[in-house]
Every structure is written in structure tokens, then in C-alpha cells.
Amino acid sequence: SQQGEEDPQALSIQEGENATMNCSYKTSINNLQWYRQNSGRGLVHLILIRSNEREKHSGRLRVTLDTSKKSSSLLITASRAADTASYFCATDGYSGSARQLTFGSGTQLTVLP
Amino acid sequence: KAGVTQTPRYLIKTRGQQVTLSCSPISGHRSVSWYQQTPGQGLQFLFEYFSETQRNKGNFPGRFSGRQFSNSRSEMNVSTLELGDSALYLCASYPDLTGGITEAFFGQGTRLTVV
């Protein structure tokens, strides 16, 4: 079953605008990760934020994590047509033994040129 | 370094048949996980293998099974295929780091269509 929901389900913006996606989850986590998927292909890792971190940056990406609200957001600044893809958050409850990612439902981002 | 390789990329099978999918992790990675992606259920965890042992299993029927070989390559098998098994099957590998916190590296997936 899905860990939680992503909001919005679909987002369409103009090139150069910022895109914000939100993710909610249900259980305690070790870390939260964001992945991108281009049209039915494999997932590409974007950024990982640990449960004791509140904000992280990587290039044009900014991720926030609020463990009290069990939510995270991904901001893509100055978007480009090449950013068009589906974006998924995934929580990792890794406890030193098994690895299992629990994914959100995803946001389909379309960046119009 | 080569990425995670999944074969075949596309597969069409008939209901009732069985299928085997293969995954070669990044060299040096010993943990391999499998995920099923469908439009209705999204991305769901199937199972994870580490050093030839299944460490974790998702909520799937026994028709779904897997194994891992001594070279870390993994296979998953689905027997008695149903139409609902049509999906993109993704494999991911992890580096074997102490401390444990790391991202997953995904393959391009195998698109299975059951007719």
C-alpha cells in the first residue's frame, strides 16, 4: 500500500517558474527521498533528507521535512522543459536490516516551453 | 561503473504462464530490491535480498518469488500469470555502506504485459 499521498497529482507550469510538490506519510521514518521518473522508465534519485534534518538543497532542488506533520515538500526552481516527469517521494524506515522504500502516489509535472 | 541492468526490457505473456525477470545490480552492491508499478496501485515493494537471503517481503501472493545468486544478481519469478500482473517491474540495488543511509539505484525496468 502507498505510504501517503502527494499533492498535487498533476502540475503544469511555464518554463522558468517554480514547481512545488508536497508529500505526506504515515509512519516514522529514517529518511525521506525524492525520485524522478521519465515516462515509464526507471527511477532516478534526486535528493535524500534524513529524519533529523529540516531542509536540504541540491542545485535547483530544495527539500523540506517536517516530521511533526509527517510531510515533505520538493521545490524545483527555474524549471525547464527537461524537468517534465513524474516525481515521487519515498520513505525509508531502514533499521539496520532490511531495506524497503514506501512510495507516495506521485506528482506528474509538465513544464511548458 | 555500469548501472543496474534489467532484462528483458519488454515481455508479453499469456495468462497462466510463468515469467522470470533478471536484475544485475551495480558492481559491489549486495542488496537488491524489487518493486511493482501499476497505474492503479502505484509503486509497491515486492521483496529485498541481501547476500542470497530474502530479508523482507511485501504483501504479494506466493505466486511472486525471487532469489539472489552469489554474484548478487537477482531473479524474480511470477507463476500462473494474471491480467493484473501487467506492470513495470523495477529492480533497485544499494551499496553496502555502514550506517545504512543511502539512496537506491534503479534499473530501467521490465515492462510485463499479460494477455
Report chain A (113 residues): mean pLDDT per 10 consecutive residues. Answer: 73 97 90 92 94 96 96 97 96 72 94 95
Residue A6's pLDDT is what? 84
pLDDT band at B63 (very low <50, low <70, confident <90, very high): very high
Chain-chain contact of A2 with B42 (C-beta, under 8 angstroms):
yes
B28-50 mean pLDDT? 93
According to DSSP, the residues that pair with A111 across neighbouring strands are A13
Give the sign of the dihedral formed by CA B74, CA A33, CA B41, CA A94.
Answer: positive
Contacts with B110 from chain A: Cβ below 8 Å: none
Residue type at position A6: E
Residue A16's pLDDT is what? 98
pLDDT band at B69 (very low <50, low <70, confident <90, very high): very high
Nearest alpha-carbon partner for A50 in B100, B50, B45, B97: B100
B58-80 mean pLDDT? 97
Residue A1's pLDDT is what? 40
Chain-chain contact of B101 with A50 (C-beta, under 8 angstroms):
yes
- For chains A and B, count residue pairs whose Cβ atoms are closer than 8 Å: 74
Residue A2's pLDDT is what? 44
